[in-house]
Structure 1
Amino acid sequence: MALVAVLWIVAALSLLAAGLSQTTRAQIDTASVQRDAAVGQALGDGAIHIALQALLAEARRPAGVQTASIVYQGVAIQVEAAPLDGLISLNGADVPLLAQMLHNAGGLAPGAAEALARQLVQWRGERPPVDPTSPAAAALSQQRRFEAPEDLMLVPGVDYTLYARIAPLVSADLSTGKVNALAAPPDVLAALAPGDPGRIARFAAQRAAGQPGVDSSFLDGRFTTSSGGGGTELYRLRASVPLDAGRILVLTRDVSLATDPVHLLPWRFLRQSRQLLPRVLLPHDEGAALINVPHGCSTLQ
């Protein structure tokens, strides 16, 4: 009986040790991921600041997507910069453009997409009721607008599933009525010209190669322009930072190149997001210009 008791105790201790070991490994993995994310964010921020310096040095702001490979702290980081007018403006797009997006990207039926598009336009044009005797009445009675893509969920009929589908395609920082095709991500192009992924892929490849006179005739002229918005001050910069264990951190910042007097910077950060992804070959991995720091810094190519 004593031997059986000893064997049971040994077995229980073995299970306890195995559980503790598994828990410790999980905690180490979690700490490693958090450390990689923190290091990746610091590297990505450094690369984005260098890319912003290069943008400010441009004689004329680029109207389309540009990429660069920036070597920062010994790490080659791919940075993509594109004007924000390549996205669909929540505050400037009219009903047909919003309906096209809601139908093709949001998955709504044509009638439902048009009805919701009208509701979005009506929502942003309303003036909320305020007390006229309030000291802040003038400011509070201003016409409503979307302050961030998350505001979409304030509109009846937009649930989280629909929001998640269309949020990457829109911006609340613009008031433009058309999409700049030279800066539009492939997902935006697919929402505006569905059913022709091969044509979109060729257009994106020719655009990335800087070929003049890229054919954009397959895009609806009601929704897009190919003249670009050179001179714009609103950009989206995306830094892809390779990490250990085959992961990659994609850090995205929306930036206004107007002076930020609060932080004494020649630009102002509007919003930020990040994703930790498996390492894959990114679309802008090839053909990017090399910016090596601290030996030098050149403009984005």
Structure 2
Amino acid sequence: MSLYSSIASTGSCLPERVVSNVQLTEFLAKRGVETSAEWIETRTGIRQRYICSEEETNAHLASKAAIQALERARLLPGEVDLIVLATSTPDQVFPSTACLVQGAIGAKKAVAFDIQAVCSGFVYALTIADSMLKSGQFKNALVIGSEVFSRLMDWQDRTTCVLFGDGAGAVVLKADTQPGILGCKLHADGSLEHILNAKGRIVNGQIVGDPFLRMDGQAVFRQAVSVLGQSALELMHEADFDPSKLDFLVPHQANVRILQSVAKRLKLPEDRVVVTVGDHGNTSAASVPLALDVAVSQGRIKKGHHVLLQGVGGGFTWGSVLVRM
């Protein structure tokens, strides 16, 4: 009998503190950075974002999202066999954030590890978990995207600091006799590392190099629009799936203009594109599972719907996963 995997439930967690564009512009003004709430929303679609307090950690957010997903799947932590967590902002060098989550929620028998593909991280993690469940070695997996990108921000760089927020999203992936994950397609191009990076590193107890996120916004925009549309069509062709039967697109929530451009290429009406960037900002690897959880919780995405999940980010990495919910 062939083995497959399917998404059994979703979950999410956001920090307690909401920062509106007005509040952010007041904060930046004190640091000599001039901008306006209107400028931010007009160019990005972002109205607010969530920012962690000093006490809130990546593992804290990820654990809460995981617990919510498990409760909705009616699964106990002790029944989890695998935790794959995507993040570019771990709480520490090691152990992995996945191991911290495993300990926090009591999933004692779970294999746990992190993967790092920046904003494509959740799509990469879901692809990895799908393959591992298909092998027959695992039955129940937690796939998590969790980020605290606010801690990589240079608050004097207007081109980046207005874009990002913190949060976590999770899904429970279960082994199944019927395919829920219909296809996955991942890509990377390391020659484009210069358009989006955070190059700082720890050497002998000191930070060496630039510790902040840096981005060539125009280059990232052009690349994202090009590869996401291409990736979607490529995957649906390989899966022998008619694009007209797609119920929803859940793309990485980076910039509303990117989402609109990809939807146009796929000939999808706006009401079939899940857009949460206005409320969350860009939460990197957390953005896709956060958006998915919002749409599921609102009752927009239902069991049986065909959904395309897409990520694109630093590396340069990108990918798509086609799902039957």
Q: Larger strand proportion, structure 1 or 2?
A: 2
TM norm. shorter chain > 0.5:
no
TM value normalised by structure 1: 0.24
